[in-house]
Structure 1
């Protein structure tokens, strides 16, 4: 299968051979279909272009994504199950819950997630809803601790607890802490607690009823590790395949199937080239070439 540079050459050749057809689409869909042919399963790629366009709106998981999945799943033979290729920075918790509920209604528990590079935050949550996660040595998941306004909810709660303890031991520190915690609005603390409880309950249920098959000790270990801000230190931390296995996730090695690895990585390169050479910020596409594509508005030239 072509590597990164060879995919570029193939795209260029496709453009020369048929100038009336978008070569990026042609090459990307060719290899996405190859993934499905190897596995014998439905395949949907859920890709965000946040790495190429970090400031563009529309790269995160949101409510509009369900329309893309509805389009991609329509007319597929659902008895073949679903392989979901994920590459996303994460996004809205409510949208994530709604999306997983929809996928369960379509495929029940027969969902496998393939992570070719990075599936962070809410993307990790979606992966936890599957029966199995396929990762390579280069693949990463991320912490699932909720964020509000760019702040880790658990870090906010920890800061409040530290303030209470400091003031109890040294009342003169109250004025200093008032400046620090005064930046939070009155209901922020409660909202942080609720976000943590919601996300942990949601992910625990998915793990219990699918990947972990009722093993609550295993579920607790996974959730405690991935949601603990004190352990992970940063919401941006990249968690390796090795760590994912050690904590109890059902991880399969992408390297164990050379044909599948080649097809997945070539597909990944093709998606990356699409984001680099177009205004696309998100693509939800199935193995039959049916795609939902969001584009960033190009800058106005004045």
Structure 2
């Protein structure tokens, strides 16, 4: 299967006769081949955040994505299940939860998430709602710590815990911590607590009812995974990349794409196609199915 440079060469060759349609033609060809190989409906959900202005809200999981999925699920043979290719920095918890609920209503529990490179934050929450996650050596998930007003909620709560511990140990540190904590709006702390609780409940429920459905120890497995993904001491930072080996260690049901050479080649070829499409910074997000139906959002300067 084509590598990064091969895909670029193929797009350039197609452009000689098809112009601006070349990227679409090449990308859709390989997405259809991936679906034919698995025998499953395949939907790609790609954000262009790696090559775009990060201040664009369209790059992140949001309620507008529901319209995109309503478009691309039309005509799906739902009994064949769904492979969702996910490349996203995350976004709104409510939007992610609503999207997961919608897909489960259509496909039941027969959903696999494929992570060619990165599915972070709310993207990790979506991945944890699947029956299994296909990852490679280059793939990563992230912590599920929600962001409140662009501040990591778990980080805020950890800072408050540290303040309490420091002041208890040395009362002279009260004034220092007063200045630091004074930057927080009174309602921010409560919002952070609720957001963290919400994220944990969402992921734990998804794991228990889908990934570990029928397992006698589903609750214990789910709690352990959620605790790791939401533990500030374990993950250290919102952008922490959690690789395939660590994902296996914490108990997630991971399928290693390298175990099927054809599957791996097809997934990575599709991934290269989408990254090429987004490298110029024009495309904010693409949601596309294996039959060539797409919902595209462009970056606006």
Q: Deviations over 1:51-98 (max 9, x none)?
A: 111435111111100111110001111111000000000001111111
**2: CA distance between counterparts of 1:99 and 1:182?**
37
Query: What's the CA shift for 1:212?
Result: 1.4
**2: CA distance between counterparts of 1:172 and 1:113?**
51
Larger deviation, residues 82-91 vs 256-265: 256-265
**1: CA distance between counterparts of 2:167 and 2:283?**
51
The question of whether the paired residues in 2 share the 8 Å contact of 1:146 and 1:196 is answered with yes
The question of whether the paired residues in 1 share the 8 Å contact of 2:48 and 2:281 is answered with no
The alignment partner of 2:51 has SS state of coil
Tell me the equivalent position of 1:189: 189
The alignment partner of 1:51 has SS state of helix
The question of whether the paired residues in 1 share the 8 Å contact of 2:52 and 2:281 is answered with no
Larger deviation, residues 89-98 vs 159-168: 159-168
Are residue 283 (structure 1) and residue 273 (structure 2) matched?
no
**2: CA distance between counterparts of 1:250 and 1:264?**
19
The 5 A counterparts of 1:1-302 are 1-19=1-19, 22-55=21-54, 57=56, 58-213=58-213, 214=215, 215-277=218-280, 279-298=282-301
The two structures have a TM-score, normalised by structure 2, of 0.95
Query: What's the CA shift for 1:278?
Result: 5.9
The question of whether the paired residues in 1 share the 8 Å contact of 2:51 and 2:280 is answered with no
The alignment partner of 1:43 has SS state of strand
**2: CA distance between counterparts of 1:42 and 1:76?**
7
Query: What's the CA shift for 1:173?
Result: 2.4
The question of whether the paired residues in 2 share the 8 Å contact of 1:82 and 1:110 is answered with yes
The question of whether the paired residues in 1 share the 8 Å contact of 2:62 and 2:95 is answered with yes
Q: Which runs of 5+ in 1 are unaligned?
A: none
| Aligned residue pair count | 297
Query: What's the CA shift for 1:153?
Result: 1.6
The question of whether the paired residues in 2 share the 8 Å contact of 1:143 and 1:226 is answered with yes
The alignment partner of 1:144 has SS state of coil
Q: Deviations over 1:227-281 (max 9, x none)?
A: 1111110111111101111111100110111111111111111101111246111
**2: CA distance between counterparts of 1:161 and 1:239?**
25
**2: CA distance between counterparts of 1:56 and 1:279?**
14
The question of whether the paired residues in 1 share the 8 Å contact of 2:51 and 2:281 is answered with no
The alignment partner of 2:42 has SS state of strand
The alignment partner of 1:236 has SS state of coil
The alignment partner of 1:45 has SS state of strand
Query: What's the CA shift for 1:34?
Result: 0.6
The alignment partner of 1:210 has SS state of helix
Cα 1:287–1:153 shift into 2, 3 Å: same
Query: What's the CA shift for 1:14?
Result: 0.7
The question of whether the paired residues in 2 share the 8 Å contact of 1:83 and 1:112 is answered with yes
The alignment partner of 1:187 has SS state of helix
**2: CA distance between counterparts of 1:278 and 1:287?**
24
